[in-house]
Amino acid sequence: MALWQSEYPFGSHYLTIGAHRMHYVDEGRGDQPIVCVHGNPTWSFYYRAIVKHFQNTQRVVAVDHLGCGLSDKPQKYPYALAQHISNLQLLWQTLDLRRITLVVHDWGGAIGLGAAIAEPQRIERIVLLNTGAFPPPYIPWQIAACRIPLLGPFAIRGLNLFCRGALRMAIARKKKLSPIASSGLLAPYNNWANRIAVSRFVADIPTRPSDPTWQLLEQIETNLSRLAHLPIMMIWGMKDWCFRPDCLERFSHHFPQADIVRLQDVGHYVMEDAPEDVLQHLERFVNPSNAQAH
């Protein structure tokens, strides 16, 4: 057994989409599932602490986007925001998930909120972790460097610099991740072919209004008002150089009633840098009656 599997002792489930299989974790039972949607370059392993914490009291579903985690990694596939949203909706429909507590991070924000806007009747509450759902107001140099033609894809797929760099650059409170966490985050992306989606997520970041993904992100942001009536919590690592605090403030304009938690010394990988903090706030948000009882 690989080192990381000791922290990821969950059964594997698959949804067939066309010719490919999309992997997801589905633990626990209940009619108010927590659905976790990851970004790039993570996978459902990133949410292992949430699955472990809640699986004895309610259902937790954590998806691996096609090309990511334990899902198939087709080399010829439309890896774009619109496709990922469609795949997530299909999962919700297939499992008939309702009264969802939606937890999103990084690209998972645009994917999860895009699906939520399309099917708001499925959503009970929302938790945002250092994410975005609007055209990028800036592109950090670390990301821009990975978009240089030829050099960028080689750095991501050949040298694995994007995944490996994130292990250091996406945390702030911790000096370094544990060997188990590092090996788990890297495990699915162990060769050129398996890093296809990591590269394509970076390439899908739009830079101009004529880009299809820019237009889709504009549509998602315009329609965030459809979700504003829901209970919303935003837990933000304030030392994140990628989804900086101004992304949090942009969301706060759309969700003025949101419960905002600012973790001042935490970086982009909130679930790796401060899992105990997130679980504490998530518990009181998802189960307020339990929090009051204590």
Q: Per-residue pLDDT tens for 262-289?
A: 999 999 999 999 999 999 999 999 987 7
With 80 as the cut, is the pLDDT of residue 293 above it?
Answer: no
Per-residue pLDDT, averaged over 39-51, amounts to: 98
pLDDT score of 225 = 97
Interhelix angle 196-203/161-169, nearest 10 degrees: 70
Average pLDDT over residues 80-84: 98
pLDDT at 258 over 50: yes
Q: Which residues, 6 or more positions from 76, have their beta carbon under 8 angstroms from its beta carbon?
A: none
Supply the pLDDT for residue 289.
72
- Cα separation, 207 vs 214, whole angstroms: 7
Supply the range of the domain harboring residue 282: 3-293
Averaged pLDDT of the chain? 96
> For 218-223, what is the mean pLDDT?
98
pLDDT value at 104 more than 60? yes
Mean pLDDT score, 214-236: 98
Q: How far is it, in rounded angstroms, from Cα 243 to Cα 110?
A: 13
CATH of the domain at 126: 3.40.50.1820
Note the pLDDT tens digit of each residue in 163-201: 999 999 999 999 999 999 999 999 999 999 999 999 999
Report the percent of the chain where pLDDT is more than 90. Answer: 91
**What's the pLDDT score for residue 148?**
87
Structural domain count, the chain: 1
pLDDT in tens, 115-151: 999 999 999 999 999 999 999 998 887 898 888 888 8
